Amino acid sequence: MLIQRARLLDGRAADIRVTVRIEEVTEGLTPHRGETVLDAAGGTVIAGLHDHHVHLRAAAAALDSVQVGPARVHDRAALARVLAAAPVGIDGWVRAVGYHESAAGPLDRSVLDELYGAVPLRIQHRSGVLWFLNSAGLAAVGLPDHPDGTLRSHDSWSDAVARRDTNLAEISRRLLGYGVTGVTDATPALGTDDIVTLTEEHRHGGLHQTVHWLAPGKRILHDDSLDLDELTSWIAAQHRTSGAVALHCVTASQLVVSLAALRAAGTQPGDRIEHAAVVPADTIAELADIGVLVVTQPNFVAERGEQYLADVEAADQPALWRLASLLDAGVRVALSTDLPFGGADPWAAMRAAVYRTAATGAVLNAGECVSATAALTMFAGHPDRPDVPRLIEPGQPGDLCVLGAPPADVLDTLDADLVAATVIAGHPHVIDQSLSSSSSSNRSGWW
């Protein structure tokens, strides 16, 4: 296809011919016979966005799970009402997602039995790490004598719960609307069958985005089971057999132990720290020195900022969701949303990186703000080199995002509503139907 009258992010005018790769970038390109042509009319063309940490199956499942987060639930009575109205799946379970203790306090099997004991119930914590099961649910997974019904999401119990078939087409459609052309699935313990299924969905059109996987090198850490020697051995073994590692770090303790283990085991270029939700000041230089990549989610500043400001001690708040201080120190950084545990819109994550405002407008760590260009660029990295931005030049992947505004407006607003078309491997997906090309013998237009 050919995109005419485009502007690149630096303001240059260009026409762009693209197939699986970008073929030509210059002004005045003439359409080939039968070539699809898009008139960008001065709008901006950027590399298609890549969300560097998502959970595709969980995102699809969340579409038909009941939401029980603080935005909807404010006490146990409200939680009981939401659960009572929730549909029972064909597998006999009620599934709820997005829970946090601020909604209705701590949960355990006795609380859930009181609130909803009719059928098996599992409520996922919004961190994605914990599940809370009622007694019926515990019996269904073979744990009738479990003391409190609080289970880690990737322990062996989950194998006893029938996995629902999930259609990724709706998730893919939404991501196209954001200009997302690729994702990295960070779900730990993805098996060969899972990857084959996702590959088949991509091949047959249900999932348009290209998918990169972290498994088997993804490891979720827990504060109550941190073991430096064991983690060091695991990292070394992964490096020998499977390649790079990705360590899930959401607390200061997890980050400190991870850095020590990486230092002891040695690092590979693809090694990653996922989230880095809390980065003490004295770990920043170590992150830069060992060269590990940080994949973080500034959208949580916007989505959960009010809770952080209320619950986290003022002296500890500067360590939350760092960004500018990491970049200034030379740490390799890329951005993601953590879909579905964070909102799906990468443009909202960019705005959070630039302004760091919570829902009420309060600012969390103003010193960690970055420029709009930096925020956008950190969503445009290569899947296997997330901190290296893809460029609009010949030879680069043919995955593009066409925006219906000039560069200055794009950077000023960072708004998904500006996405006019998403191009994956040279194939256009139209979001703004007003985009069109003139009709002639050598122009095919859209479809």
Residue 446 has pLDDT above 70, yes or no: no
**Placement of tokens 């080199």 in the chain:** 385
Which residue ranges make up each domain of the chain? 2-48+399-430, 57-160, 216-389
φ, ψ of residue 257 in degrees (nearest 5): -65, -40
Residues 6 or more apart from 430 whose CB is under 8 A from it? 420, 421, 446
- Do 187 and 58 meet the contact criterion of CB atoms below 8 Å apart? yes
**Per-residue tokens: 104:** 């209705």
Across 152-167, average pLDDT: 61
φ, ψ of residue 58 in degrees (nearest 5): -65, -40
**Per-residue tokens: 255:** 């980050």
Provide the greatest CA pair distance for the chain.
74
| pLDDT top residue among 197 and 343 | 343
Q: Where are the alpha helices (DSSP H) in 185-251?
A: 192-203, 228-241
- Do 295 and 249 meet the contact criterion of CB atoms below 8 Å apart? no
Encode pLDDT of 243-299 as tens digits: 999 999 999 999 999 999 999 999 999 999 999 999 999 999 999 999 999 999 999
Tell me, what's the pLDDT at 438? Answer: 43
Across 200-229, average pLDDT: 86
**Which CATH number describes the domain made up of 57-160?**
3.10.310.70
d(CA 327, CA 131): 35
- Do 149 and 132 meet the contact criterion of CB atoms below 8 Å apart? yes
Tell me, what's the pLDDT at 155? Answer: 63
Tell me, what's the pLDDT at 163? Answer: 54
pLDDT bracket for residue 154 (50, 70, 90): low
Tell me, what's the pLDDT at 187? Answer: 86
Can you give the pTM of this predicted structure? 0.87
d(CA 275, CA 31): 45
Percentage of the chain modeled with pLDDT above 90: 74
Across 317-343, average pLDDT: 97
- Do 418 and 409 meet the contact criterion of CB atoms below 8 Å apart? yes
**Per-residue tokens: 117:** 């004991």
Strands (E), 100-241: 121-125, 130-133, 150-152, 180-185, 210-213, 218-220
Encode pLDDT of 41-69 as tens digits: 999 999 999 999 999 988 888 887 899 98
CATH topology of domain 216-389: TIM Barrel (3.20.20)
Q: Which long-range contacts (CB under 8 A, 24 or more apart) does 302-306 make?
A: 302/348, 302/349, 302/351, 302/352, 302/356, 302/357, 302/358, 302/359, 303/342, 303/343, 303/359, 304/358, 305/356, 305/357, 305/358, 305/359, 305/362, 305/364, 306/358, 306/359, 306/360, 306/362
d(CA 18, CA 398): 6
Tell me, what's the pLDDT at 156? Answer: 62
Q: How far is CA 195 from CA 49, 161, 191, 338, 351, in A?
A: 22, 19, 6, 19, 32
d(CA 205, CA 229): 45
Tell me, what's the pLDDT at 442? Answer: 33
Strands (E), 55-120: 66-67, 94-99
Nearest C-alpha neighbor of 67 from the set 56, 53, 83, 90: 83
Q: How far is CA 183 from CA 179, 354, 382, in A?
A: 11, 22, 10
Tell me, what's the pLDDT at 206? Answer: 84
List 363's β-bridge partners, or say none. Answer: 357
Across 217-227, average pLDDT: 92
Architecture of the domain delimited by 2-48+399-430: Roll (2.30)
**Per-residue tokens: 98:** 């997005």
Encode pLDDT of 359-388 as tens digits: 899 999 999 999 999 999 999 999 999 999
Residue 165 has pLDDT above 50, yes or no: yes
Measured in Å, how far apart are the chain's first and last C-alpha atoms? Answer: 11
